[in-house]
Structures are given as C-alpha cells and as structure tokens.
Structure 1
C-alpha cells in the first residue's frame, strides 16, 4: 500500500484513514494493513490499531472479514431493487403481484368512512389495533403489543435503530431478499450468512453465525424470497432451540407474504428471547401504495419504536389505516384476496409442472411469487442465453451473500400455461447445451 496512514492513538488512526478515503487515496475494496503490520509501522500497540479498525467498521468506512483482512467499504447505495426492470424482454424478473389481483382503490375509498384527526390523538385506529391483536394471537410469544410501520423494510430499519449500533452483525438467509440485505448494509450493519434449504434457514448455519457474535437474526418464516421456502414445523423447533441459548439476540420474523401464503406460519421465536418482532406487510396482497405493516413485538420494542415515531410525527396515516381495514374486513375485497392467493399458487404450480415435464425437477415445498431453479454451470451465462430467447429472469448473484448458489429466480405472476411450457422448453435446451 502506497498511501501513508498516520496517528499515535486509535482516534488519530481512524481520522487518518477516513481522510485518505475521503480524498480518494484509499478506494472501495482496498485492503488495509494487518493490525500487526500497521502497529509496527506506527510504533503503537496492536490494541490501538484494533480499536481504530473497530471504529472504522462501526462508521461504515471499512469492513473486517476475518482472515481476509480489513477492506474499505463500497460507497453506500440503494443497491439492486425489486420490481425495477427496463427491458423489451418477457419479464419473469419482476416480483410484483399482477395489477388486476389488487383491489380497485376507488371502490375501497367508496366503502371507507374517513375522518379527520388532530395531533395528539391516538395514532392507531382502535379497529386496526384489535384486528392486529387477533391476527397475531398464537403466532408469536404471548404478552405482546402491537404497532404499525410503513412496510416490512421500514419495520426492519426501525427495529435495528432501536436495538443495534453500526457495526453489529445481523444473520440473514443465504440467499437473501435484495431489499433486506441493502437496508442492513445501509444502516452500517454487517450481514452474516446462514444457509437456506427447502425448509428454511438451517439450524446449524444459524448456530455457527451466532457463535461469530451476531446481535440479531432476520428470518422469513414462509414464502422466502428468492427460494420460496417456508419453515416447517420441525425446522421451527430446531431454530427455536438454537435461539433459546441466545436470549439477548434480537429475533425478527418478516412474514411479508402472510395475506397470500398457502403454507402455515411456524414461529422460531423462543419465549425466552428478550427482544423480537413479527411483522406482516399488506403490500403484496393490497398493493405497494397501501404500504403498511402490522408489527407484533415485545412491549419494550414497541415502546422504543413508538417513541422514535412520535418526535417526527411520522406515524402511519390513519387514512391509510382506514383503507387497509376496509380491504381486510369487507367481503368483496376478502374474496379478491382469496382469488389472488389461488391465482398465485396456480401459476407457481403451472411453472413447476412445466419444468418437470421438460426434465427440470425442483423442490415442491414453495410459496410466494417466485420459483427458484438451480442450474448446472454458470447462472450468468444461462441468464444471457435466456435473454437471447426473449426471457428476463433474475440471477442468483442478486441474492447471494457468501455462497454462489448457481440458480435463477423466475417470477410467476405472468405465467400462463403456454408461457410456462415455452419457457421450460427453452431453459431445458440451454441447460442441455451447457452440460455438453
């Protein structure tokens, strides 16, 4: 390394490296000297350098990767986003629901009694609060309280802000939902990978991640994006057993697909866990602009979230709450939700059966808007070959944390029988070509 790091204290070393990064002399990905090497160069104790590197990690300037050393972080960015595509190809990459599955908002407004509220009045409508308490009964540890946030990612960010500090490690599924991984990194946290199979996060992988000092774990109990896995009853028992030995670890369950899920919810949260939350966004079933998440959590967490909401007057709009309540309790909109659930499950099954008919067998225990297809060879090459045949899908590299899963994610909302069989035939032909 040609740049010169200076300083006699942890603060001075931290400031030196931060300035070198700001000036562009240290670039994203650059490897910093080892603790011993830099201590010898500067004539200071190794603990001094170690403390400086810890501050860099917490500030999001550098990331420590064990034996791989400490490197300068990439500039913060929103990262790859779900639902953003700009192509003339047949889109099987967009994980959004079909527009016609969603309720007509004009009709929803026509069925909704709206009222004006003032500052200082209750920020959660009584009927919404009671609906949420009933919805989570039996789905999480008892004696919970309820609040509302602006979607699943907003809930994740608020829970991290309430309990964690920059530099803390958060266990996530590998592969992981794009937006969740982005939100954790942008908050200055470190993602720690835990492998996923057809039954959800693997218990031994979670245990190994927690032994690395993780302070939180984010788990998708069903319809995991991208794989579609749902945690089985047996797997939930195994995960609860692991987590029961770490009561101080923050446990977060993102049950984002609850309104459309066909698999049951098996919670992984032990009753001994101090701080936890289960959150259920309604955006998949009701649409992205009705972005609201019901959050069940321990009372201390609810208190911290609500305290942070209060100063900015940033509670969830009670107009939005009223519209959501209408959708969840009016017979016509409930029927539309059930129809959307059936459409989604049918299209997913249609694709899985079409793939099987062309010799591509995948796990059947799936839920959600996507099908995860492991492929032989380089997934990026297969993505490119599919694009030349007119198909757009997402590569596993968009979701991988540590492992290279070599798979493609195929969204099913546009999957008619003829489309499914043509896509399966094209994919089978491409895989056969790469296996030669």
Structure 2
C-alpha cells in the first residue's frame, strides 16, 4: 500500500483517528487481507506526525487482530476487527476424543463437592429477592466470609468467579500501556486477561516460598500500577508464600503506590495458611477469594475484599452490565459456609486433593522426575522437550497442559502442567501413569532444571 494513498484517506492524524480510518477501510473491503501496510516512518512522514503516533495506531489495530507484523513482510492486514481470544487458555490441549486421561484443567472432583439442594432452597426463601436494588454483597455472605478474611477489608463485593474479580481489578486500575508486575509462571487465563487489557507484563520470578524479593525489586523499578500474585495454592507451580517471604515483599512495596492484588484461587482447599499483605497495607491490598473449586463451579462466586477505592471502581464498572451477583447464589454459598457437614466435607476434599498431588509427585520422584511446590491442584513437571512430551503423552491417551502457556516469554527450560484433582486413587493405575509421564519427561530431571 502506498503511504500517500493511505494518508489521503485519514482525516484525523491522531493515533485514534489513524486506527479508525484504517478500520473503516478494512471493514468496507477497500483494504483486503494480506495487504502490506506502509512503514511507520513512511506514513508518519506523509501525515506530518511522529512515528510514535503511527506506532500507537498500529498497536491498537494489532490488539484487535486486524494486523500483524512480520519481520520479513513488514506489517500486513489480517482482516476486520475480531473479539480478542484467550489464546493460551484455548490452546491448552486439543488432542481428540480418544484421550482416556485428561490432566489439562484443574477442575474439582464432582464427587467431592457439597450438594446444593438445601442451600438453594434456603437461599430462595431469603428476603429481598427480585429487588432491583444493587447489593454488592448480601449480609449473610459477608457474615460468612468476614471471620476468615486475613485482614479488615475496607469494602466488599461478590463477583462471578475468581478470574472475573482479578480481571475487573486490573481493568479498572491499569490503562493500556501501563505496567503490571506478575509472578512467573502464572495462570494461563490470567496472562490472557492482562494481555487483552493491553498492559505491559513485568515478570517476577518465584521459588518454593513465592515471588523472589530481588525479582520484585527489579520489577518495581518499572513502577507498575499493580502487583498480582497468588499467596498460596499457586497455579501452576504450587508455591505458598511464607510469613517471612511476605514480610520481605512488603518491605519492598512499602514506598510504592502499587495496588496489591492477591489471588486466592483455590481458597479453602489450600493446605497452606493464608499469608496476606493486607494487614500491613489495608488501603491498597485487595484479596480475591474463589469458592468455585471448593463449593461448586456453578455457584460462580468469588468475593473481593480490601481497599475501598479499588473495590468501588469494580462496582462502578459492573454497574454497566450485570450490576450485582445473584442474591440466591450469594446466600446459597453463605448457607454452605455455615453448614458444619459441608465444612467437614471441604476439609475431607482438601486432604484428598493434597494426597493425590503428593502421591503422583512421589511416584515421579522415584523415577527421577522431581517436581516442586507443596500446595494446589497441579504439578509443574520439568521435561526435556515440551512438544515431544505432549506427543508422547497424547499417544498414550493422556492430555496435559504445555508449560509455555504459563509464561510471558519463551524460556529455555520446558515444563508441563498436570492437573491432579481428579487423579486415580488406584496405586497400580497411578504407577502406570507415572511411568508414562517419566517417559515423556525424557531424562532424569529436577524441579530446578
């Protein structure tokens, strides 16, 4: 495409105007797929603007999947705008229907979830149902969750699951181009969410005790607007932050204005105590606690509690859409949290999940494949070659998640993430599974490899 031709069709030479004009041309079919766009400098010269203005417009079009930049061909058109897709999450594994063992998604064992009938019946009789008054959290749910909250929350809100809570907090805190510090590896869906928001991701390396202070200190030099981490049950690695590590991290965050987002993804299923920085920074810490894996995915409930300003921004954004989370679902969860039998059932599930994870880790260790972590519903397994390991496991009817989906940029050491919540309890079957995983790993490895 000739730069002068395109410049003549751009009435507003701002970044937004350039992106809008090219979007119209692509939608109309005037500019078709595989058209090579002029260089950033060439178009900037024709428009009389800086190269940065054109680059910003290109970035906006790239975010919506309309163009891509190839080193050999330059920047080419892909087609009309599309809805951003969670690429990492969608590519966790599509190996066909013949697979017998699915270790891809860390979903709960349905046999270990509490029955919902009595909770839903009790919730359906609650006062105030079908009122259009927007209730951030029902009194019953707040009374049920507040005693176990690790710090005095300034504000509360029930949302539709843990990922929604983290997404809305980041979306209402960061503008496109802002920086967010996040532990690495981390949840594939979380990386998809943050990339869709258009922020720059600053990785923070971790060990068994959580984010490394030195790495966080380096990340804070970039002045991120938020730091997102999982204090316990970390996915994919199973880290759990110790009180000592939390103090070290808090010391680094003391002079910053960074919002601290704590993602407690498995909540009451974690075998590790909750260590929060909210007690030290109650005005800029928000904890997101999900109850999907412990009490039922179809409840679609997470509670966010903490810094009033951050929670209020989420409430305002939700007012454009759903407005509030169903009172029936909120009070159903409150009923479950207050039921002694359900609490016993959750404690039993916690132990079963921990045993399943530990048994597979032990089986792999005897075969020279040493995994790390001590909490969570997954194992982070080092392998020689990710692609070869995936193919080997698929050939044996086993689906797992590739480790590359859980990191920001490609890394030299390869891993797989194995969901352990639904593992077999049969020792012989587990031994056979470990044999195949060790075969796929390719050689004797350790978690530090």
Deviates more, 1:235-244 or 1:103-112: 103-112
Tell me the SS of whatever aligns to 1:424.
Answer: helix
Mark the CA change 1:406 to 1:357 in structure 2 (over 3 Å): closer, same or farther.
same
Instruction: Map 1:26-425 to 2 at 5 A.
Output: 33=39, 39=44, 42=46, 44=48, 46=50, 49-54=51-56, 56-57=58-59, 60-61=63-64, 76-79=84-87, 80-81=89-90, 87-89=97-99, 90-109=101-120, 114-117=125-128, 118-120=131-133, 122-136=135-149, 139-140=150-151, 142=152, 144-247=154-257, 249-268=258-277, 271=280, 275-310=284-319, 312=321, 314-363=323-372, 365-376=373-384, 378-404=385-411, 405-412=413-420, 413-416=422-425, 417-425=427-435
Could you give the per-residue CA deviations for residues 136-187 of structure 1, whole angstroms, max 9, x where no partner exists? 1xx24x4622221111122123223432223333222222212212222233
Mark the CA change 1:433 to 1:391 in structure 2 (over 3 Å): closer, same or farther.
same
Distance 1:161 1:64 in 2: 24
Could you give the per-residue CA deviations for residues 358-403 of structure 1, whole angstroms, max 9, x where no partner exists? 122222x321110111112x11111101111222111112222114
Aligned length: 422
Mark the CA change 1:146 to 1:396 in structure 2 (over 3 Å): closer, same or farther.
same
Provide structure 2 residue ranges, at least 5 long, that are not aligned to the other structure.
none
Distance 1:430 1:84 in 2: 16
Distance 2:354 2:433 in 1: 18
Determine if contact 2:246/2:277 at 8 Å carries over to the other structure. yes
Could you give the per-residue CA deviations for residues 234-283 of structure 1, whole angstroms, max 9, x where no partner exists? 32222222222321x22211111111000122224584585331110100
Could you give the per-residue CA deviations for residues 28-52 of structure 1, whole angstroms, max 9, x where no partner exists? 9x89846x66645x37353xx3134
1:109 CA drift (Å): 3.3
Determine if contact 2:18/2:57 at 8 Å carries over to the other structure. no
Deviates more, 1:349-358 or 1:176-185: 176-185
1:98 CA drift (Å): 0.6
1:335 CA drift (Å): 1.0
1:221 CA drift (Å): 1.0
Mark the CA change 1:130 to 1:212 in structure 2 (over 3 Å): closer, same or farther.
same
Tell me the SS of whatever aligns to 2:298.
Answer: coil
Distance 1:262 1:99 in 2: 19
1:227 CA drift (Å): 1.2
Tell me the SS of whatever aligns to 1:422.
Answer: helix
Determine if contact 1:193/1:402 at 8 Å carries over to the other structure. no
Question: TM (normalized to structure 1)?
Answer: 0.84
Tell me the SS of whatever aligns to 1:167.
Answer: coil
Mark the CA change 1:71 to 1:270 in structure 2 (over 3 Å): closer, same or farther.
farther
Could you give the per-residue CA deviations for residues 296-330 of structure 1, whole angstroms, max 9, x where no partner exists? 12122233333334454521111111210111111
Question: TM (normalized to structure 2)?
Answer: 0.82
Determine if contact 1:243/1:269 at 8 Å carries over to the other structure. no
Determine if contact 1:108/1:323 at 8 Å carries over to the other structure. yes
Determine if contact 1:277/1:296 at 8 Å carries over to the other structure. yes
Deviates more, 1:311-320 or 1:365-374: 311-320
Determine if contact 1:111/1:326 at 8 Å carries over to the other structure. yes
Report the RMSD for the aligned CA atoms in angstroms. Answer: 3.5
Provide structure 1 residue ranges, at least 5 long, that are not aligned to the other structure.
none
Determine if contact 2:92/2:402 at 8 Å carries over to the other structure. no
